[in-house]
């Protein structure tokens, strides 16, 4: 299956360290070599990079590891194709507009025979079960709220919608509108918060140690969500099965 990486931060933060380790899983230290992507929110704007090449070999991924784009919400994905061919249109994350905002979604898992009724503005471009699920979530959110609700109301609605998708199979996902990061675990997700007093972290997939105390200020803080822990010397917490967490300003809020 695929792997997920998400960051939700109190201040604009670059993902170079986490993304560098994560990319190695796209065909080097793991077998997720069927495409990759990463999305950076920037105010109301969005920078989206996707590729059908493996992340460990992609020149664009190598560039982004060295180019420190800063964002408060970042979602990345490395793909192991199971449903849908290896093609650019099937690379996660996927993006849609709702209520005048970008929404970004990435999924890990298989949804068997999942073809929900899609009768509104949201239609898949590719052939993945993941994009169909995203379109359905966006469709149902739009039906449930006339305008952009607050994060608490969105979370309540998502809690009602997720089981309707989850019954078709594995539904680990990350979702963000640039304000918050929602993370749902059906089988495997881990998270931590990096904050003052910062410490050293060592990647598991590449020989690189960073002392975050030298790079951050006391007000900086970042929540990191990933399928499998990225570092060997930090305390990662596992999600419970079928748990939905929402992160804002680098902290879990629900």
- The token duo for 213 is 């105390």
Among candidate residues 2, 9, 135, 185, the one labeled active-site is 2
Residue 87: the pLDDT is 81
The per-residue DSSP string of 128-184 comes to -HHHHHHHHHHHHHHHH-SS---HHHHHHHHHHHHHHHHTTB--EEEEE-SS-EEEE
Residues of the chain under the 50 pLDDT cut: none
pLDDT attached to residue 176: 98
pLDDT (0 to 100) of residue 26: 64
Rounded to the nearest angstrom, the gap between the alpha carbon of residue 188 and the centroid of all alpha carbons in its chain is 13
Distance of CA 186 to the CA centre of its chain: 15
Beta bridge partners of 106: 174
| Whether 2 is catalytic | yes
Domain ranges of the chain: 3-252
For 98, the token pair is 């709702």
C-beta neighbour count of 32 within 10 angstroms: 27
pLDDT of residue 85: 79
Res 214: pLDDT: 86
Rounded Cα gap, residues 170 and 188, in angstroms: 10
User: Per CATH, the architecture of 3-252 is what?
Assistant: 4-Layer Sandwich (3.60)
């Amino acid at each position: 299956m695929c792997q997920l990486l998400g960051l939700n931060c109190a201040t604009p933060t670059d993902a170079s360290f986490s993304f560098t380790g994560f990319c190695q899983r796209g065909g080097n230290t793991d077998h997720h070599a069927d495409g990759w992507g990463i999305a950076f929110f920037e105010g109301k704007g969005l920078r989206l990079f996707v590729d059908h090449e493996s992340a460990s070999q992609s020149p664009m991924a190598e560039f982004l590891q060295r180019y420190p784009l800063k964002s408060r919400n970042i979602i990345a994905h490395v793909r192991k194709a199971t449903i849908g061919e290896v093609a650019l249109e099937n690379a996660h994350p996927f993006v849609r507009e709702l209520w005048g905002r970008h929404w970004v979604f990435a999924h890990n898992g298989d949804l068997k025979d999942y073809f929900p009724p899609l009768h509104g503005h949201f239609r898949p471009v590719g052939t993945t079960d993941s994009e169909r699920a995203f379109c359905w979530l966006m469709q149902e959110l739009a039906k449930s709220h006339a305008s952009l609700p607050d994060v608490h109301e969105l979370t309540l609605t998502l809690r009602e919608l997720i089981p309707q998708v989850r019954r078709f199979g594995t539904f680990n996902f990350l979702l963000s509108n640039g304000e918050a990061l929602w993370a749902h675990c059906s089988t495997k997700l881990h998270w931590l918060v990096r904050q003052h007093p910062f410490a050293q972290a060592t990647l598991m997939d590449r020989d690189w140690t960073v002392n975050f105390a030298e790079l951050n200020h006391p007000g900086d803080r970042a929540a990191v969500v990933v399928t499998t822990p990225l570092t060997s010397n930090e305390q990662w917490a596992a999600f419970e099965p079928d748990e939905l967490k929402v992160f804002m300003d680098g902290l879990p809020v629900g």
